[in-house]
Chains A and B, each alone.
Chain A
Amino acid sequence: MLYKNVWKTLNRKWMQLLAIAIIIVMSSLTYTMMFYGISGIEVPTEEYLEESNQEDFAIDMLNRVTEEELRDPAVATLAETGTFTLADIKQADAEVFNRLIASRIAAVEQEMPDATIELRDLKAITYTFDDIEHRGLIVKESDTINRSYLEAGDRPSANDEVALNKKYAEENGIDIGDTIDIGKPFTVSGFVLFPDYTLPLFDDNFFNLDPGSQTLLLMTDESFETFIGQESFRLSGVTDQAIKTDIDLPFVVSVMETENIIRSGAIYSEISSGKAMALGLSLFIVSIAVIIVAILISNMLEAERGQIGLLKAIGYSRRQIASPYLVLILVFAFFMLIIGYFLGLYFANPLKELYLDFYLLPSITIAQSPLVFVTAVFAPLLFFALVAGAVIYKIMGESALALLSPRDNVSLNRLSRLVSRLLRRASGKTKFKYLYAVKSTGSFLIFFLGILFSTILIVFALMMNGSVDRMTVGGLNEAVYEYEAYTDGTPVLEAGQEPFLTYPFAFVEDNLITLKGLDFDNTLFPLQNEDGDVLTLEPDGLVVSSSLALKLDLDVGQDIDVALDGDTLTYPIIGIADEFSGDFAYLPRATLSELLTAGATDDLFNGIYATERPSESDYSTILSRQGLIDQSESINQYMNFMMNVLIGGASLIAFSILFVLTALTVEKNYYVISLLKVMGYQKREVRSMILNSYFIYALISALLSIPIALLTLRVIVVVFAEDYGLVLPLEFEWIYIVYTLGAVVLLFFMSTFISRRKIDQIPLQEVLKTYQE
């Protein structure tokens, strides 16, 4: 009978229980989904990286010969003919190239005697697939480090065979045995992965992670050598000893440990931070749920003090009275946790697939783990049992007489006293309004933290909005050109073509940057600052890209030292171009040409911007602006999706908290509401007095969340810049404050709609019944 009674009481609170159910389900769903989603890729990834001997570190090296290397007569002879880049030397004289690389490897091995070093040889290509420009990165098979990993099929054995990424094949409807034209036709022999590209980030200057428009390619060594593409080199290393990252060798640009290289190591931090987030986020949500349940039980028992007192008086034991409350609440929580667990299991697969949309990793079917089930269901249940048990035990502990007597007035908490002091000069009505929400410290804290947490996520999501777009194609959208092309020769310029000169070997504060020379009258690639003002180049100043400025904390007017071929030149920064795609410093082409040729010519160029597609015979690499924009489309869609998920999840939590707490407030203040109505306060005024303080506190909480979100994002930007050298152009706009407050207002009115109606429905005669606050 006691169970029936409690069951009926709970039934009357079905809407509050529904909101609490959402929070409980979300806690176990978050944990299960994230944990299984991550473990779905973690286990096979570990095996894959082990099997293919992933590099422990990578050395980015100067793609041209150093002064020291020029002492080699053969190298010097080639340099005199303008052949000084590694790629050109390899084409001109493979023997000299091999000698150069061997000496570089030997120099590194001297610095790290226990390390094994190997050359990584890559060729970047672009080709048209289904009328869309795709990118390929042909990776030459290595002997020991970063070996290819076959997901299906075979490695290419004939010169007309190629292996590519499975995800790319799936996205483009390619099967093993199909023919693919990547400049010339190849038969697909298999699906392959490379451990140094767990992220398909092929180009440091173009942040694109879309596996549908770009792929890694493996072909026979012979095909690799004959295939035309932009060739690049680096050194890969493995060692059991400590990695020396401060090697002082002239050709070494940087030595980075795998964990700090975004293309190969991002997955490590993704897995560890994903797990931490799964636990932290679900712990936070479950804590909110537990405390709200405790508040609900406490209110419920307080409302039934007399009834409980009577039961005790007629001989029921504390355990007998407490059991129905505890058991029914735990059964309710248990079912919600189970629902959350299975929903989490269901959503883990799409989450895993979402990871695999951007990471090039093998995957397995998600298998359930008893440990995850226990953590997702029984750990929170224990938490519920302890807290709910403590609340019930405390109230049941009172004597029958105390429970049957009207409750003594309760003294004020510190928070109420503080607010009361702050509102010393306010009217009684105003004081009443603002003191109500802080009456219970626990409820108020949950409310405040919940709203704070939710609004931080909303602000965070808003600030992420467009950041990847700015990072990938921000500059491209402003540009006028259609094609960007690179040449090794000196083709005749045609109408609609504007030359530029790039020099990717300059250093600023030990950071490798690209100097880019543009013509004064350049119209196809106008440089603009973030306000949209056109920047004019000057011979004795530099315009730097926003990403370089952010990374090195540079500002207009500041002088920077640029190391160029052993010389150090000091330039003032005359402008910051709104460009996040790489570390560029812009100057007039004539100035750069004279610098590079020791004054011999002011008309050197190695690339053009063009309005029409230039001839492939003149230009080895041709990039289509629209192609790049299309390629970044999917990551932008992904980011928008993530932003919406973040805003949706945060809003749902905020909604549930606001709904439960305001509903409980109305329920708890039944008599006060009735009294106010009897006194002559209109419904509108009563609603405002009971609920609007929550509104103000929600707005304060939202406003506080903005600096916290800004601080958090600042930390993220710094961590990314320092660890990965990747500048995230996260932006804060004042309009976001309006959006955030707008979202809070909307959430508030939606979540308190029922409470408002309930206030209107409370009858006046209630005040005549036993009054309690």
Chain B
Amino acid sequence: MIELRNVSKIYKTGDVETAALKDIDLTIRDGAFVVILGPSGSGKSTLLNVISGLDTVTSGKITFGDTVLTDLSVDQMTAFRRDHLGFIFQQYNLLQNLTVYENVQIGSDLTKDPLPIDELLEQVGLTAARDKYPYQLSGGEQQRVSVARSLAKNPAIIFCDEPTGSLDEENSKRVLELLERLNKTYQKTVVVITHNNGISEMADDVIKMNSGRIVEVTHHETRVAARDIHWG
């Protein structure tokens, strides 16, 4: 479980201070599928950055189980990300020199107990493309490689920053189906940042943000399957 208590983040540019996060209190349950919604500048990316340790907080406390993330050093936080967190970004961020298999391998090399790469490629439907290079794949296929890569080290939580931002509806739904499966089959906690309202239909919890504050938290008793969401 991830807990945020009174988390604030202030950026300073010269004498100007900008509060990106203001007194955030939030709990993300283990195994939940969480969607963070909000317009540009609402603070959703900053929230993801501080939860995942990509950025530091100005004040407040973030805990993961018994670990106080806000007390960790840079190296300790790196080790934490290595052991527990996976990331999927809007840009696929694949390494162009490596094949599909090798790109996933880069993720699995981080742990002693990775998930089998062949099994992951089968899950994302890319077994046949395992020896292809990124430039030989479509955008949807590349994003599926990045999903497999993030899962390879078997993380407890997967953070997704606009994972469908560069994809068409069909490819987006395929990627969302994968995230859904990860959440259900592997019991992974999935945190998705998006401005697409439709994606929130498949979440357990929906957190709406505006001006650096959480303005609404909605819990869904039943989730809509990724394939059936209303694409907006």
Q: Which A residues contact B (CB, under 8 angstroms)?
A: 408-412, 416, 420, 427-429, 431-432, 435-436, 439, 671-672, 675, 677-683, 764-765, 767-768, 770-771, 773
Contact = CB atoms under 8 A, between A and B. Distances in A.
Question: Per DSSP, are chain A's interface residues mostly helix, strand or loop, or mixed?
Answer: helix
A410 B110 CA distance: 27
B135 A411 contact: yes
Given A679-B87, A764-B55, A409 B93 contact: no
A671 B108 contact: no
Contact of A432 (B83, B92, B102, B110): B102
B121 to A, nearest CB: 13
A428 B55 contact: no
Contact of A428 (B108, B134, B135): B108
B64 to A, nearest CB: 14
19 contacts: A409-B134, A409-B135, A411-B133, A416-B97, A420-B99, A427-B105, A428-B98, A428-B106, A432-B102, A439-B96, A679-B106, A680-B110, A680-B153, A681-B78, A682-B79, A682-B82, A765-B54, A767-B89, A768-B49
Contact of B82 (A409, A436, A679, A765): A679
A436 B97 CA distance: 7
A773 B109 contact: no
B161 A768 contact: yes
Given A672-B95, A773-B96, A412 B75 contact: no
Question: Per DSSP, are chain B's interface residues mostly helix, strand or loop, or mixed?
Answer: mixed
Contact of B91 (A411, A420, A679, A770): A770
Contact of B95 (A408, A678, A683, A773): A773
Contact of B93 (A411, A675, A677): A675
B85 interface: yes
A431 B79 contact: no
A412 B97 contact: yes
B20 to A, nearest CB: 12
B97 A677 contact: no
A675 B96 CA distance: 13
Contacts of A429: 105-106, 109
B54 A764 contact: yes
B127 interface: no
Contacts of A773: 95-96
Interface string B124-145: 0000000001110000000000
A165 B116 CA distance: 84
Interface string B104-118: 111111100000000
Contacts of A682: 75, 78-79, 82
A439 B83 CA distance: 30
Nearest to B99: A420
A412 B133 contact: yes
Contacts of B78: 677, 680-683
Nearest to A406: B91
Contacts of B105: 427-429, 431
Nearest to B161: A768
10 smallest CB-CB distances across A and B, nearest first, come from A680-B82, A428-B105, A409-B135, A771-B91, A435-B97, A764-B54, A428-B106, A680-B81, A429-B109, A428-B102
Nearest to A680: B82
Most buried by A among B55, B96, B98: B96
Contacts of B49: 764-765, 768
A767 B104 CA distance: 17
Contacts of B161: 768
Contacts of A678: 52, 54, 81, 87
B211 to A, nearest CB: 20
B45 interface: yes
Given A429-B105, A679-B110, A768-B45, 6 more contacts: A408-B135, A420-B97, A427-B109, A431-B102, A678-B52, A682-B82
B172 interface: no
A439 B97 contact: yes
B109 A428 contact: yes
B70 interface: no
Nearest to A411: B135
A679 B98 contact: no
B154 interface: no
Contacts of A770: 91
B103 interface: yes
A223 to B, nearest CB: 81
A579 B106 CA distance: 60
A431 B153 contact: no
Contact of B96 (A410, A428, A431): A410
Given A428-B106, A432-B102, A771-B93, A410 B45 contact: no
Contact of B81 (A432, A435, A679): A679
A672 B106 CA distance: 12
A764 B105 CA distance: 21
A442 to B, nearest CB: 16
A675 B98 CA distance: 15
B97 A768 contact: no
Nearest to B104: A428
A643 B75 CA distance: 45
A680 B85 contact: yes
B98 A432 contact: yes
A435 B89 CA distance: 24
Contacts of A672: 93, 95
Given A428-B105, A767-B89, A768-B89, A412 B79 contact: no
A762 to B, nearest CB: 12
Contacts of A427: 105, 109
Interface string B20-34: 000000000000000
